[in-house]
Chains A and B, each alone.
Chain A
Amino acid sequence: MNEAEATAAGGGAISTCWSCRGPVAGDSIFCATCGAVQPPADVDHFARLDLTPTFDVDADSLDRGYFDAQRRLHPDRFATRTPRERAFSQLQAVSLNEAYETLKDPLRRADYLVTLKGGEVAPEGCSLVNEQELLHEVMERREELAEADSVAAVEALEAAASDDFGRCIAALSTAFACDDLPAAARLTTRMRYLGKYIEECRSRRTRLGRHT
């Protein structure tokens, strides 16, 4: 961390530490002089968890980055501190949780990374006029699901959709690696529909299971 803070001091904006009122690098977590916890810096989710901004986030590194940061910033560490320190620690922990939840989930991660790189993903519920192929696929799958009348039939549809979901993840990895933002955005949209479809499969499966 020392190294990271030193770089930041040389590069980032300077603000005033609320506690010792001396200079503190804009993206520091603790004041280098007095050690007081600072409000969360305006950095992206990857930087917050000490990760390289890539789609291929390794689950273990993500956990490690998250746990390490929470160890230092969680409100439990500040239970006997002044109200202001407790409040900043809570804000920091909120930011860490937001970063962790976003990066842990492949769909949310893809969505976030596309936006971070300046692309745009069609928001949920948007018409898919520009995505005729996806539109057809979604309608076809829905029909199949409506007609499936046994747990086994729904399970087969769900498994196929899960496989496609997995293939989307692999394709996204390639798209991001080649910096092909339009492709990444398209894949993210497809993944969102697949994700919702898998959820629908699950609830239909539970309903069918209850009747048998």
Chain B
Amino acid sequence: MAQLIQIREPGKDPLAETGDAPVAVGIDLGTTNSVVAVGTEAGAEVIRDDNGEALVPSVVAYAADGSAVVGELARRLMLDRPDVVVGSIKRLMGRGLADLKTLAGVLPYDVEPQAEGASGMVRITVAGRRLTPVEVSAEILKALRDRAEQHLGRAVGKAVVTVPAYFDDAARTATKDAARLAGLEVLRLVNEPTAAALAYGLDEGAEGLYAIYDLGGGTFDISLLRMEKGVFQVLATGGDAALGGDDLDHAVAETFLAERKTRLGEEETLTSADVKMALMSARLAKECLSTQTTGSWVIDAGGRQTNHSLSRDALEAVIEPFVARTVGICREVLADAGVTPEQVKGVVLVGGSTRVPLVRRQVGDFFGTRPLAHIDPDEVVAVGAALQARALTAGSETLLLDVTPLSLGIETMGGLVEKIIPRNTPIPVAKAQEFTTYQDGQSAMAIHVLQGEREMAEQCRSLARFELHAIPSMAAGAARIRVTFAVDADGLLTVSAAEQTTGVEQEVAVKPSYGLSEDEMANMLYESMAHAGDDMVRRLLAEARVEARRVQLAVAAALNVDGDLLVEGEHELINDAMAALDAAIAGEDRDAIGARVEDLEKATRAFAERRMDRGIREALRGRGVDELAPASPPEAEG
């Protein structure tokens, strides 16, 4: 038993200490801005540039040679060279062309046309290059990784990356793919409001029911959590993956543009430069009117200047419908959890747009409490991510229990959706469903996986379609195919299937509706060879080492407990194999490690058999022979 406790001691995990373990960071990959932070002994440190700025604008500019510039420099290019700059790419993660209709007018770049009915993630054209949103996000992640490496003076190989709680499976997968492309292993995808709760809870020692109101640049999330000592249990979450601070800016920009058109004359057409300038002024106005009650802004584009004044009251009238929508979602989430606003002890504000006084007022009114915002709303998510990255690598007593934001289901007869995993189910979760054939000798079956709350398949989001093949020939309704839907701790879905009557495992090739196929990913990894090859080799080597240490520890533990079962000369043999494996682990040859592990397993095989024999003998003695009914269920013991 002492051995067991020693091995499990958090923070003293021998497997975690594989020598040159790269640092793990926390990354808030935002629509407008991104932040990287790193866990420290005392908590977490947000990594800043020389000017003390933590926010890296999520903007990428592409040079003619294909190299990318990320951040403030790229953002400044936005006005002069809109054709080579991409911003707000997060809104396109895991999105298809059809989704863009809901974002119409919001996207300031060229989207590649797609054949009607074709699926797959959108492609955009920037600086004459055809890019996926995954590749653009990867550039941002690489820049954050570089920033962290420069600051720490060490390699950064792992990260906790945050995603909006309301992100669907396709957007989550796209985020993970982007990290892979940036040479980062994702330790965990953590929901943004959950990360913020972690930062608040650990910092303030908050206990009770808390709501996290997260109005980001392009997404809105509301999560209700129960916090107590070291436990962060998400009870319900909701949101809108296409509603954010950007929308407030757009609403204000539209009023500016309408004014501009009236002043310049109705016959004048507005160019995209006008639109971009108006957006910039709108953003400034929104920020400025958070502290001032009135102000005026100049739109200067195409050699024409117009002056626009706006009061806080007028601003609030323009953005009120958006804020009301977020409050409506808060109401639904509370109802889902069976909680009244009075039961909520505090509401934490996250995201730059929560600085808008109207947002604070309405959120405060709804929850009947003054919202909390004393950790910088722009940085709190990255801080939480860094804390979680540290907890995952160094060990921790903190427990994060999250839920699925959207129901998962499949399409049934008549285009209806049958829900398999309802929303707000704690993850990880797995649910199995049995299907049968409806024709004699039917050998294949198509399954359409959906995510969403609506009753009709066409109103939900299509995640994937796949076909089950090689179903054994049987009468209609005789085959029983068990399909298992599993959502892991990252909120990602995997599907597996098996035919029950024959036990034939089905190979499930899921064709993601809006994701990238494995081939596409492989190509991208190949193209970004800068580190892809090295990274892959390094990761496989690290994995082989971890597995080898696991085997060594298991053998050592067995020797410790059952050493008396060794026969003469056996211990020496095992020790030799252990030493040979030690040498292999110290080396760089993954195959050699594998071979030495196999040698060690061979050297201990007879010993393991003796241990099993003794275990079974002891169990039999403990129970008495007369009690031994074959295949008696364990419950029969009482």
CA distance A25 to B399 in the complex (A): 27
Across the interface, which residues of B come within 8 angstroms of A25, CB to CB? 619
User: Is there contact, CB below 8 Å, between B615 and A97?
Assistant: no
Interface string of B416-444 (1 = CB under 8 A from A): 00000000011111100000000000000
Using an 8 Å CB-CB cutoff, how does the interface string of A70-90 with B read, 1 for contact, 0 for none? 111011110111110100001
Binds B, one of A10-18, A138-146, A177-185: A10-18
**A93 x B558 contact (CB < 8 A):** no
**A16-B426 contact in complex given A22-B562, A82-B547, C-beta closer than 8 Å:** no
Contact partner of A23 (CB less than 8 A), chosen from B430, B488, B612, is B612
Report the minimal beta-carbon distance from A88 to chain B, rounded to whole angstroms: 12
Residue of B nearest to A18 (CB): B554
B527 within 8 A of A: no
CB atoms of B393 and A94 under 8 A apart: no
Q: Which residues of A contact B546 (CB under 8 A)?
A: 80-82
Residue-wise interface mask of A (36-49) relative to B, using a CB-CB cutoff of 8 A (1 in contact, 0 not): 10000011100000
Evaluate whether A21 and B611 lie within 8 angstroms (CB atoms) in the complex, with A11-B623, A67-B399, A98-B429 already known.
yes
A79 touches B187 (CB 8 A): yes
> Do residues A75 and B543 form an inter-chain contact, with CB atoms below 8 A?
no
Q: Is the CB of A80 within 8 A of B612?
A: no
> Which residue of B335, B604, B615 has the most chain A CB atoms within 10 A of its CB atom?
B615
Q: Which of A13, A32, A82, A90 contacts B428 (CB 8 A)?
A: A90
Taking a contact as CB atoms closer than 8 A, the residue among B4, B430, B543, B634 that contacts A32 in the complex is B4
Decide: A74 near B562, CB < 8 A? Known: A12-B634, A21-B608, A82-B543.
no
CB pair A97–B392 under 8 Å, yes or no, is no
The 8 Å CB contact of B4, one of A13, A35, A94, A202, is A35
CB nearest neighbor in A for B547: A82
Contact B188 A76 (CB under 8 A): yes
Flag if A93 contacts B428 (CB, 8 Å). yes
Which chain A residues (98-132) contact chain B, with CB distance < 8 Å?
Answer: 98, 100-101
Q: A30-B8, A75-B428 are in contact. Are A80 and B188 (CB under 8 A)?
A: no
Find out whether the CB atom of A9 lies under 8 angstroms from the CB atom of B619.
yes
Please tell me if the beta carbons of A79 and B188 are within 8 angstroms of each other in the complex: yes
B553 interface contact, C-beta 8 A: yes
CB distance from B472 to the nearest CB of A (A): 27
Is A76 within 8 A of B489, CB to CB?
yes
What sequence of 0s and 1s flags, for each residue 548-565 of chain B, a beta carbon within 8 Å of any chain A beta carbon? 001101110110111000
CA distance A74 to B16 in the complex (A): 17
Cα–Cα distance between A72 and B8 once the two chains are bound (Å): 9
Once the chains are docked, how many angstroms separate the CA of A74 from the CA of B391? 13
B7 within 8 A of A: yes
Q: Across the interface, which residues of A come within 8 angstroms of B10, CB to CB?
A: 77
B118 at the interface (CB under 8 A from A): no
Q: Assess A10 versus B611: contact at CB under 8 Å? Given A20-B557, A100-B426.
A: no
Say whether B614 faces chain A, with CB atoms less than 8 Å apart. Answer: yes
State how many angstroms separate the Cβ of B145 from the closest Cβ of chain A.
19
Q: Are A35 and B8 in contact (CB under 8 A)?
A: yes
Cβ of A22 and Cβ of B489 under 8 Å apart? Answer: no
Instruction: List chain A residues, Cβ under 8 A from B427.
Output: 97
Q: Which residues of A contact B (CB under 8 A)?
A: 2, 9-14, 16-17, 19-27, 30, 32-36, 42-44, 67, 70-72, 74-77, 79-83, 85, 90-91, 93-94, 97-98, 100-101, 202
Binding site for A on B (CB under 8 A): 1, 3-4, 7-8, 10, 13, 15-16, 187-188, 231, 335, 388, 391-393, 395, 397, 399-401, 425-430, 486, 488-489, 543, 546-547, 550-551, 553-555, 557-558, 560-562, 604, 608, 611-612, 614-616, 618-619, 622-623, 634-635, 637
- Given contacts A12-B634, A21-B611, A30-B8, 17 further A-B pairs with CB under 8 A are A9-B619, A11-B637, A19-B551, A20-B557, A21-B554, A21-B558, A23-B612, A33-B561, A33-B562, A74-B489, A76-B392, A79-B392, A80-B393, A81-B15, A90-B489, A94-B429, A97-B429
